[in-house]
Copies of this chain bind each other. A is one copy, B any other.
């Protein structure tokens, strides 16, 4: 029988690549996405397209409205998305308080209910070094918590947290995505909504730079 895994699928490039890696490793996947009060639903429709493209049979989209208390440009319309360029020395205003912790907790709940052995995450410590919840020591602490928190943890079967992109550069992620046949045009990374990516937010800038460096400038937002 195939091992089962949960994949957190935002609709962006990284989580799609993480899903494709899990499939390549032979896991049967259940995708989990969130309507968390983000500014736009463009990335959620991307997640639905990717579930189809990757032939994932089960997909949960859960409402958990973090915009109820805001605190981030991604969940509070009153805070503008920065467009001036990436500043790696600060934690960006696009950081959503506790978001990864909330998402991974929900993935643990789903994993326990569905008896999944692993949770695949698209998080990456290189280009998002300013986000505290994208670091290896954070993931290690979460696995420790999972071992203590759950019925399956007590039985020594807590799901593993697997972040295959953790130490890859964005350029290497693009190469991996192409290699695994991810339809990059179906992924959505831009912090803004709309029909085309803005090309100016940090997420667009990091993605475009990587696409160009990896040899796929035609996929960058500036050409769309």
Contact = CB atoms under 8 A, between A and B. Distances in A.
Interface of A: 60, 62-66, 68-71, 91, 95-102, 104-106, 108-110, 112-114, 132-133, 135, 137-138, 141-142, 144-146, 148-151, 153-154
Identical subunits present? 2
Q: Summarize A's interface: helix, strand, loop or mixed.
A: helix
12 contacts: A60-B69, A63-B64, A64-B64, A64-B106, A71-B109, A71-B114, A98-B109, A98-B150, A101-B109, A102-B109, A141-B149, A144-B144
B106 A149 contact: no
A145 B101 contact: yes
A132 B109 contact: no
B60 A68 contact: yes
Given A62-B65, A64-B64, A145 B149 contact: no
Nearest to A99: B109
A208 to B, nearest CB: 26
A96 B150 CA distance: 9
Given A65-B62, A98-B108, A108-B101, A70 B133 contact: no
Nearest to A134: B149
A97 B150 contact: yes
A96 B149 CA distance: 11
A69 B150 contact: no
